[in-house]
Amino acid sequence: MKRNWFPKMLTVLLFFTVCNSVLAQDKWGGMTLYTLRNEMGKDPKATLKQVADLGYKYIEAVDYKDGKFYGMTPLEFKTYLKSLGLTPISIHMGSMTTENADKLVADVKAGGFKYFIAPVPPMGMFSFDRETMTLSMTDDVERLADVLNTIARKAKAAGLEFLYHNHNFEFVKNKNGIVPIDYLLENLDPKYVNFQMDLYWVTKAGADPVAYFERYPGRFKIWHVKDMDEEGRFAPVGQGTIDFKRILEHAKLSGMKYYIVEQDQMFDGMDPMEAIRISKEGLIKFGFK
């Protein structure tokens, strides 16, 4: 008697397809390894495994030294992330200059990243005062724009997208009466340079993220999502005062492709890994998908 094996085989294939789809949906959203910088410094592979276990899908890296990401070659780093079901989306390259950009771009490309990000004004155009704990930047925004444009063109040629990440100081008029963030948005070609909006720092500056989406639609490709408590400190998503629901309603207008959880500092004894777990719950609460 001839066996009808085709329907059975089709059933098995459909079963595995559904299972794989469900598993894929278990992981979503992104986080920056800056939040876990101390943990990554001790045991990067174990820390990345914990991030994957929490259900995050993609990561933003911040550590690059001697051609390696967290002590791993670009290929090793990319391969290990893949084994965990994690995707390297973006990297903050604070050490970028017009001279070393070619090497950095090549390694970022080899590491599987999509976005090459300037986390602060590069090449000595940014300073941090440890005594007052304040950040500041150059008044020469024309030179800053030129540097960003030069490096961005190198990134574009390699197939990477270049973004500039804001803090609050870019929203303050400089001595020449220029608001740096406005100057950059108006004078940098979106073909080469776009932006990673840090929702906390925009709010800290007293600006409205949605107003910037309306003025400069499509320019904010990645968001840093972190909350602000009543004292103005960093807090896990959903544990503070920022109206993420309202902001999220304008995601398409902003041009947002990815969102990344971040918490720069911990307070009241909170553990960084616990903070990103709570933030994942906050993302769900506000409707991030």
Q: Which two tokens stand for residue 223?
A: 């968001």
Count the neighbouring beta carbons within 10 Å of the beta carbon of residue 234. Answer: 21
Q: What is the pLDDT, as a whole number, of residue 4?
A: 55
170 secondary structure, DSSP code: G
Say how far apart CA 273 and CA 193 lie, in whole Å: 32
pTM of the model: 0.90
CATH architecture of the domain with range 29-286: Alpha-Beta Barrel (3.20)
Q: Under 8 Å CB-to-CB from 183, ≥6 apart: which residues?
A: 141, 145
8 Å CB contact between 118 and 151: yes
Backbone angles phi, psi at 85, to 5 degrees: 80, 20
Tens place of pLDDT per residue across the chain (289 aa): 445 554 554 444 444 443 443 344 478 999 999 999 999 999 999 999 999 999 999 999 999 999 999 999 999 999 999 999 999 999 999 999 999 999 999 999 999 999 999 999 999 998 888 777 678 899 999 999 999 999 999 999 999 999 999 999 999 999 999 999 999 999 999 999 999 999 999 999 999 999 999 999 999 999 999 999 999 999 999 999 999 999 999 999 999 999 999 999 999 999 999 999 999 999 999 999 8
Domain spans of the chain?
29-286
Single out the residue of 269, 258, 213 nearest to residue 88, CA to CA.
Answer: 258
8 Å CB contact between 234 and 228: yes
